[in-house]
Structure 1
Amino acid sequence: MMVFVLMILTAWLFVLLAVRTGRSSRARDSVSESIAIHRERLTQLEDDFRQGQLDLADYQQFKAETERALLDDTRKEARGEDRRPLPWPLALAALVIIGAASWLLYQQWGASDAVEVRRGFVELATSEQPTQAELDATLDGYQALLQRHPDDLQGWFRLANMQMELGRYADAQPNLERVLRLLRDGGRNAEDEATILSYLGQSLWAQEQPDAALARFEEALQFDAQNNLALGFAGRLTFENGQYRRSIDYWQRLKNLTSADADTRLIDEFIRRAQLALAEQGIDYQPEQQARLQLDIQLPSAWEGLPDEAALFVYARRPGERMPLVAKRVPVTAQTMRLTLSDADAMTANGGLAGQSEVEVSARVSFSGVAQSAPGDWTAEPQRVDLSEKAQQQLRLQLRQP
């Protein structure tokens, strides 16, 4: 920063030199030369008139024009003399004063603290093994900077996230609370709110406050029933509290969110442990199996010519109704695509496949990528599925061009 200030001062000095020694002196010399030429012209006009080379009318006209030009240049010269160049001592003093004032203003209202914080992060990124003191100093500097911007939601979230990654949960918690308030004061977003609530629950859990942490996780699931972090921690905390049925339900919901080919052995082990704990109490508890639809989607051979914004929509709804119970939007990546529909793709909190005896399943490719159907979309014939037969169904849908 000091190098920057010195460069600015040097630039001002050169500009001042140019103004003082160049422009002013050249302008004065030009005016002086013009005055001398006008005077010579008047003398020449008078000699020509005396020698009879000019008649009286021409002599008076040329003389009047030359005298007007002489008068104008004389005035210019006088004004130039009134604006004499600034003396060197005063010019240098002005440069010093301006530079010092600029630096003070920069320190007071400028971005010097932001520059210092950025420098700290750069040093951390380039350091092979930063010390705890360096990490703390950088994060504390960032928090001090954010105090001047209390509504910077993204900034406070980044700070809290970094504090949690470094294990500073007690410091992260009030910053996460601030982010939650900013979210709720502004345009609320259920998914974002659930994410912050889950982070708050994790922070409280790390501070050995399990009851408060569980309350935050359960609150997060009210806003986003598919939040993996909240489901996993809620299952763990209810298990530790001896609420084995609830823990099984949470872990089962987490398992239902995974894809069909995902490895769920760890979740299955958690469920098994909770079931064993209930068995010791004489309770045989089996979680309800979630309905899942395995779909093989076949697209026309012209799929490679689709625009980049094209998207594939798959959905299931009650027969005769328009509103889908579950739906999924994915980019078109191949002629044959495999997808899974489950309660994880529910359109509303009360939607999903659970409790449905029969649904109608279909698919559509939208050229514009929007959910609203339009002429020219590729569609598949709807298929009815009886969900009362088994929890998992395998379907094949063939999309056709209009």
Structure 2
Amino acid sequence: MIWALLLLSLLLLMFLLVPVWHREKADDRYQSEENLRLYQERTDELAASDLDEEQKQALQLELDREFLAANSTVVSAQTKASARYRWPVAAALFVVSVGATVLLYQQWGAANEMRATELLEKASQAELTPPERSELIERLAAAGQKQPGNIEWNYLRGRLLNANGNFAEAAEVFADILVVLPEEATADRAATMSLLAQARFFAADQKADNGMYQLLKDSLELVPGNPQALGMAGMLAFELKDYQGAVNYWRQLWLSMGDTPEAQMLAQGILRAVEHVREQGGEVDLSWMKRAEIKVLVDLSAEAKAAVDPADTVFVLARAVSGPPMPLAVQKLTVAQLPQVITLSDAQAMAPGMNLSSHEQVTLVARISKSGQPMPQSGDWQAEQSPVSNQEKELVKLMIGSLVP
């Protein structure tokens, strides 16, 4: 932007100064022509006079001197006097034009959005200083007012206000976004509902109400299984004494988590909610709180053993019968280690929310990979069994003996 402004300023300077330059040249030419006319007129009058030749020559010499002086001194002085006013005026016009351009660009151009983007990029690499965070919030607000149809600016502002602890203001921003979001934008609406409930909860000094709780229910109806929404819905349900609801939401969240310290803390919250349910005369089945674990005996047939090398890689994995193909648990060993009993559990999950406990029915696969890659390829050997309960108590046997076409 700076280089473009400099280029435009240079063009503007040329536009303003060229007329001044040409005006001076034109004035000089006009004055010279007028001096020449007067000189010729007086010369003709002198030639037609009755004076003798000696007097004529003396007067002619005087005329010549006056003509030269007029051109070299008088005209030059007049031109400089004229230039003394023209150049400052041109310079003033240049400064005013450049200043007006910058001000108008700040008002109507993209300078604000460019600075906001610059600060956002910096925030992704390092923590902003408090003045920079305040500036970013102000610039996001200005961008949102300038482009009401661009929801992203307001969404970023709301998230930043939440992070800054300005919960009441953040709640207003998210409420405004929810009004303009189209109904078909289910994921965006669900995320905004969760953020709005969170902002209102903290703005109310962490006191829950049914409006916040309903926002989270609506969010989970649009996008079931969202971990943040499940966690907060369980918390609000607990605060509002809907203990069975708290257990239900936290159960979904717990099943999606691995065996981590966070999951252990959540389990304590679930047990407290269960105690309240029982105090109210209800009953809760907690058999699901036992972490899923499947023991698998992996061996290979004589035909497969003759076709593979002891150093070939063996993958043993479990994936959901109905769900994404990403493994819920996986172990890696070599042909030389077979036969062997291995245990598949949540500890081998590859991604949050994708573990053995979160899917009741799984498919077990044992594959010898000649390439060493987990994806099946022609020439690999494998065994598969499906469906298998994620709470299977018996030892599952997988005999590798099928050639992958």
Q: Which runs of 5+ in 2 are unaligned?
A: 26-85, 299-307, 334-341, 370-374
2:386 and 2:319 mapped to 1: Cα distance?
12
Task: Tell me how far apart the structure 2 counterparts of residues 180 and 365 of structure 1 sit (CA, whole Å).
Answer: 51
Residue 258 of structure 1 aligns with which residue? 257
Q: Are the structure 2 counterparts of residues 314 and 269 from structure 1 closer, same or farther at C-alpha, using a change threshold of 3 Å?
A: closer
For the pair shown, which has the larger CA radius of gyration, 1 or 2? 2
Partner of 2:146: 148
How much does 1:400 deviate?
A: 6.7
- State the partner residue of 1:207: 203
Task: Give the whole-Å Cα distance in 2 for the aligned partners of 1:149 and 1:270.
Answer: 44
Could you say which residue in structure 1 is the equivalent of 2:386? 384
1:211-360 alignment, distance < 5 Å: 211-260=210-259, 263-287=262-286, 289=288, 292=292, 315-317=319-321, 325-329=322-326, 335=332, 339-340=348-349, 353=359, 360=363
Q: CA deviation at 1:202?
A: 0.6
- Give the TM-score taking structure 2 as reference length: 0.56
Unaligned runs of 5+ in 1: 26-86, 304-311, 318-324, 347-351, 367-372
TM-score by length of 1: 0.56
Offset, 1:265: 1.9
Partner Cα separation in structure 1 for residue 180 and residue 381 of structure 2: 43
Tell me if structure 1 keeps the 8 A contact 2:385–2:398: no
**Percentage identity across aligned positions?**
21
TM-superposed deviation, 1:148 = 0.5
Deviation at 1:170, TM superposition (A): 1.5
> How far did residue 10 of structure 1 move?
6.1
1:167 aligns with 165
TM superposition shift of 1:244:
1.5
Give 1:199 shift.
Answer: 1.0
Judged with a 3 Å threshold, the aligned counterparts in structure 2 of structure 1 residues 377 and 216 are, in CA distance, closer, same or farther, namely farther
Q: Check 1:13–1:329 CA distance in 2 against 1; reply closer, same or farther (3 A cut).
A: same
- Matches of residues 131-142 of structure 1 in structure 2 within 5 Å? 138-142=136-140
Q: How many equivalent residue pairs?
A: 307
Equivalent position amino acid for 1:148 in 2: K
- Counterpart residue type for residue 389 of structure 2: L
Offset of residue 239 of structure 1: 1.5
* 1:198 CA drift (Å): 1.3
Give the distance between the partners of 1:381 and 1:226, measured in 2 at CA. Answer: 32
Amino acid at match of 1:151: G
CA RMSD of superposed structures (Å): 5.4
What is the one-letter code of the residue matched to 2:233?
A
User: What's the offset of the Cα at 1:360?
Assistant: 4.5
What is the CA–CA distance in structure 1 between the aligned matches of 2:16 and 2:397, rounded to whole Å? 82
The residue type paired with residue 258 of structure 1 is M
Residues 365 and 169 of structure 1, relative CA distance in 2, 3 Å threshold:
farther
Counterpart of 2:386 in 1: which secondary structure? strand
> 1:374–1:380: structure 2 CA closer, same or farther, 3 Å change rule?
closer
C-alpha spacing 1:136/1:316, structure 2 compared with 1 (3 Å): closer
What is the 5 A alignment of 1:13-24? 13=13
Deviating more after overlay: 156-165 vs 288-297: 288-297
Q: Distance in 2 between matches of 1:181 and 1:397?
A: 58
Q: Partner letter of residue 171 of structure 2?
A: Q
Paired residues of 2:144 and 2:151 also in contact (CA < 8 A):
no
State the alpha-carbon separation in 2 of the partners of residues 397 and 195 from structure 1.
46
| CA shift digits 1:163-216 (9 cap, x unpaired) | 00111112112322344455436x6253x4332221111112123352111111
The equivalent of 2:185 in structure 1 is 188
Residue 121 of structure 1 and its aligned partner are, at CA, apart by: 8.1
Residue 130 of structure 1 corresponds to which residue in structure 2?
130
